[in-house]
Amino acid sequence: MEQKVRVLMQRYELGRLLGQGTFAKVYHARNLLTGMNVAIKVVDKEKILKVGMIDQIKREISVMRLVKHPNVVELFEVMASKTKIYIVMEYAKGGELFNKVVKGKLKEDAARKYFQQLISAVDYCHSRGAYHRDLKPENLLLDENDNLKVSDFGFSVLAESKCEDGLLYTTCGTPSYVAPEVIKRRGYDGTKADIWSCGVILYVLLAGYLPFRDANLMQMYKKIGKGEFKFPRWFAPDVRRLLSKILDPNPKTRISMVKVMENSWFKRGLVKEKPVITNMETKQISPLDAADGVFEVCENGDPIADSKQEQTKPCKLNAFDIISFSTGFDLSGLFDDDVHKKEVRFTSNKPASIIISKLEEMCNQLRLKIKKKEGGLFKLEGSNEGRKGALGIDAEIFEITPQFHLVEFKKCHGDTMEYQKLLKEDIRPALNDIVWTWQREQQQPQQLQHEGEVQEEQIEAISSQQIS
């Protein structure tokens, strides 16, 4: 029997499945007009609306539109139907760089060429105000000429997303490649975090294995936090010196991208590519605005993104978050000894709906204004002016399992003493009937054991998907 040809939007003939994730599938396709081979990422719109990933997809599209470079997978166009988003991209015939690494270490010249192309692409992304945040061999593709192409900007972020202190705070990426300051959850520079990941990639290309390895996930994180790794005997002295400067656990003293490109080992045999100027450079338009149409202009009136039901769904924790939030797996001691922390957390074995209802009830009792945001985030504001203005608190609900949640309170503005007094005298007593335990408080051994078992199960499940 002849296989039925699938034609998308009367323009692309869909071919074999190249890969898939929770919310999207990537297909090989052919443009019916030009005959060009492309890759099409098909995103399930209903799924991303339900889990609050709208902004993430918008950022991915915006960054790809903004960054046009010989070593970055090119975005050709974005289309949408009632139920799907179609992201049409350059097809990298050579597959993932990871497939070469699994066969063993690369020769120094080959590893250097890929590293040069990686640094060129990432540096250009940074110059356009974009940070990748999930660099790893699986996200580096090769074209038919064996040239590297950076792909998968799902965790990328634009400079406009920085907080007032100029730092990023979202913990994301793949554990084995992530910078220690990202695990720290105290804010990080996207440029320095990407540089660290590039260093891990270079080590993997030259060694054939990861620099930070341990069967115990916590031990691996400790090694990353302290920058503890060993060089294989075949690493040349100049490579060792460069990697030591890149894999510096202190982001303030870590080598800059400019210094990496000035390094003598890096410049050996370097072929410079001239980046292509993007349309974004000639238009006065916000890149995020450019992605809005994917959700707003759809067939038959698609559901919009500001549904209350979608916004109040709690965020699911990844491996980083579970480790850093947990009382049993607190990593803060690896990085600092700051005891004056602005955030307070508690765990609860109540459903998210009950936790939300209790928060709303508490705010009514304490005369706090409450605003729902995307995910499980709530903004609480005091009705009275304090010593430093009205008190503002972020309350965020995270799902560890459907029956086990973590809630974090964090002061975002106002007086710290007033915040601590409100927590102690009003908020804690008001939430007493839904709280299992407040973080860092004395617990019964059975409680600690059960909490640890739940968290370890979740860490193992998530880590098995994220750690290569």
Q: Verify that 44 and 14 share a domain, yes or no.
A: yes
Q: Verify that 316 and 217 share a domain, yes or no.
A: no
How far apart are the C-alpha atoms of 100 and 85, rounded to whole Å?
31
- The radius of gyration of the chain's CA atoms, rounded to the nearest angstrom, is 24
Q: Verify that 181 and 247 share a domain, yes or no.
A: yes
How far apart are the C-alpha atoms of 243 and 202, rounded to whole Å?
8
* Residue 58 belongs to some domain of the structure: yes
Q: Verify that 395 and 252 share a domain, yes or no.
A: no
Any known ligand binding at 41?
A: yes
Q: Verify that 52 and 106 share a domain, yes or no.
A: no
Q: Verify that 127 and 221 share a domain, yes or no.
A: yes
* Residue 287 belongs to some domain of the structure: no
Q: Verify that 315 and 238 share a domain, yes or no.
A: no
Short-list 154, 150, 146, CA closest to 124: 150
Which of 200-204, 295-299, 437-441, 444-448 has the largest mean confidence? 200-204
Q: Which residue has the higher pLDDT, 455 or 144?
A: 144
Give the tens place of pLDDT for each residue, 298-351.
Answer: 444 333 233 333 345 566 655 555 555 554 444 444 444 444 456 788 888 888
- Say what the pLDDT of residue 131 is: 93
295 pLDDT higher than 80: no
Q: Which residue has the higher pLDDT, 115 or 442?
A: 115
107 pLDDT higher than 90: yes
Domain boundary among 267, 298, 324: 267
Total number of domains constituting the chain: 3
- Say what the pLDDT of residue 165 is: 55
Rounded alpha-carbon distances, angstroms, from residue 274 to 18, 116, 124, 135, 270: 30, 13, 10, 22, 13
Give the tens place of pLDDT for each residue, 391-405.
Answer: 889 888 887 776 788
- In terms of Cβ atoms closer than 10 Å to its own Cβ (0-12, 13-18, 19+), residue 340 is exposed
The mean pLDDT value of the chain amounts to 80
Q: Which residue has the higher pLDDT, 242 or 296?
A: 242
- Say what the pLDDT of residue 351 is: 83
Q: Pairing state of beta strands 377-386 and 389-401?
A: antiparallel
Q: Verify that 118 and 227 share a domain, yes or no.
A: yes
Short-list 43, 88, 224, 201, CA closest to 136: 201
- Which pLDDT band holds residue 440 (cuts at 50, 70, 90)? low
Sequential DSSP letters for 199-245: HHHHHHHHHSS-SS--SSHHHHHHHHHHT-----TTS-HHHHHHHHH
Question: Annotated catalytic sites, by residue?
Answer: 134
- Give the lowest-confidence range in 33-37, 119-123, 231-235, 411-415: 411-415
* Residue 363 belongs to some domain of the structure: yes
Kindly state the tokens that stand for 445. 């051994």
- Which pLDDT band holds residue 164 (cuts at 50, 70, 90)? low
Residue whose tokens read 């560890």:
400
What range defines the domain where residue 415 resides?
A: 310-466
How far apart are the C-alpha atoms of 55 and 39, rounded to whole Å?
22
Q: Which pTM was predicted?
A: 0.65
Short-list 157, 97, 117, 169, CA closest to 133: 157
Q: Verify that 54 and 186 share a domain, yes or no.
A: no
CATH number of domain containing 143: 1.10.510.10
